[in-house]
Amino acid sequence: MAIKYKYWLWMLVLPVLTTCNKDKDYKLLGPGIILTTDVPPHHWFDVRDYLKSKNARVTFYIQSYQLIDSAGRAQLKIMMQDGHEMAHHTYTHIHADKYLYSYTIDDYMQNEIFNMDSIMNADGVYTETFAYPYGDFTEQTDRFLLKRFRSIRKIISPYAHKKLADVDQIYYRFNGVRVFYGCTIDKKQKLALKEVFEALDKAKSSRQAISLYCHRINKGELEHSDQLNVDYEDFKAIVDYASKIGLKFYTAKEISR
């Protein structure tokens, strides 16, 4: 009876010990910002010098690499050399949940992930992290994608009348993240700069990294109706402020397990 008792006690304690040892491998991130974008880097190439001046590194979630021309691929590699991360955003930018209505998870992995892997790898570009197009996912896609990637980025917006700084899901204290969320600073979110600054201040004061994303940087050439962009002056103001208060710029793979 005593032996049985000790056995069950050990079985209860072992998972706790394992978790504790595992947690020791995680490192504090410190005050920072995880800035990601859902377009290839040739859309950002004209802000390259500015990003370098602020030591601001970006994770580029790339869709449809097969459609990027030689000039765009050359710019991508230059941005890689600057320290930016190139990540995966699927072959055709498909809705993952809708895709599985008609096809299998094996079809999804082959057609949307591995097909683009082979093209990128042949060009010397390797990806370690992933973001869902449109933020659409299923439990099954999560499970299979986490076998291939170090992390997955999902998206979230302020809800229940919360401000950006109140969205706890976009703040991260430790590395080792497998699934994380980002909130957009694109025009469609209609965030005032003051609200973004308050969210950055929270990252500073709480010693956490905040996860934000956007699409294109608009220097005036995009149509007013295009909401998937952020004005260059606003973007500069955000990056300038993050740099001023001492936030470190992290890539997705740096916060991932």
Residue 208 sits at φ, ψ, to 5 deg, of -125, 170
- As a residue count, the chain comes to 257
User: Residue 233: its pLDDT value, please?
Assistant: 97
User: Residue 56: its pLDDT value, please?
Assistant: 98
Q: Report CA torsion sign: 215, 218, 221, 225.
A: positive
Give the Cα separation of 71 and 217 in Å (integer).
19
Name the average pLDDT for the chain.
Answer: 91
Count of helix runs (H) and strand runs (E) in the chain = 10, 11
User: Residue 225: its pLDDT value, please?
Assistant: 67
CATH 3.30.420.130 fits 34-255, yes or no: no
Name the residue ranges covered by the structural domains of the chain.
34-255
Query: In terms of pTM, does the model score above 0.85?
Result: yes
- The answer on pLDDT for 199 being more than 70 is yes
User: Residue 10: its pLDDT value, please?
Assistant: 37
* Confidence class for position 220, pLDDT limits 50, 70, 90: confident
Collapsing DSSP states into helix, strand and coil, what is residue 163? Answer: coil
**171 touches 215 (CB < 8 A):** no
Structure tokens at 77: 């590699």
Region 33-50: what's the mean pLDDT?
98
Query: What DSSP string runs through 76-116?
Result: HHHHHHTTPEEEE--SS---HHHHHHHS-HHHHIIIIIIHH
Half-sphere exposure of 255 (CA within 13 A, CB side): 33
Collapsing DSSP states into helix, strand and coil, what is residue 129? Answer: strand
Which residues partner with 249 through β-bridges? 33
- CB under 8 Å to 46, separation ≥6 — which residues? 217, 219
- The answer on pLDDT for 151 being more than 50 is yes
Please state the separation of Cα 67 from the chain's center in Å.
22
* Confidence class for position 7, pLDDT limits 50, 70, 90: very low
* Confidence class for position 121, pLDDT limits 50, 70, 90: very high
Give tens-digit pLDDT for 135-148: 999 999 999 999 99
